[in-house]
Amino acid sequence: MNLTKQFATRANYFQFGGAPYVSTFAGEACKFGAADLNGAWTTYKTQLGDQKVHFAPSFFIDPATFPPIVDGGFNFNGGFTNTLKDNGDPALIAKAQNDTTAALTSDAAFVAALKGKSYMTGVSDQNMNDATV
């Protein structure tokens, strides 16, 4: 929260919908003493006082279960093909390197689950996970 307060009002901080854009890497297990995820992040936003934020976390849970407090979602894994496992098969590795649609299935699920809320996908120069090239 202190970092949000420190940086969110700077002119070069990304704004979305007139509010500083705040995200996470995980955080779905952080309850900060609250009973549930919605209560936890409601407390975070409340403690910012008058500083409004656009909160679009990268929670590693089904986006359909995101708490109501979120303003959007960040699909960190959208930048990767998560289905390839390194089995040493060069043909599979080459296919994954050239597959530009494999990661899009998780994007579609996120967009649908967010029901009109903002969406941000991950972008990577590596088109695979769990593979050694």
Binning pLDDT at 50, 70 and 90, where does residue 92 land? Answer: low
For the stretch 41-67, pLDDT in tens is: 999 899 888 889 999 999 999 999 999
Phi, psi of 76 (to 5 degrees): -55, -45
Torsion of CA 106, 109, 115, 120, to 10 degrees: 0
What lies within 8 Å, CB to CB, of 116 at 6+ separation is: none
**Whether the predicted pLDDT of 133 surpasses 50:** no
Please report the pLDDT score of residue 51 as a whole number.
86
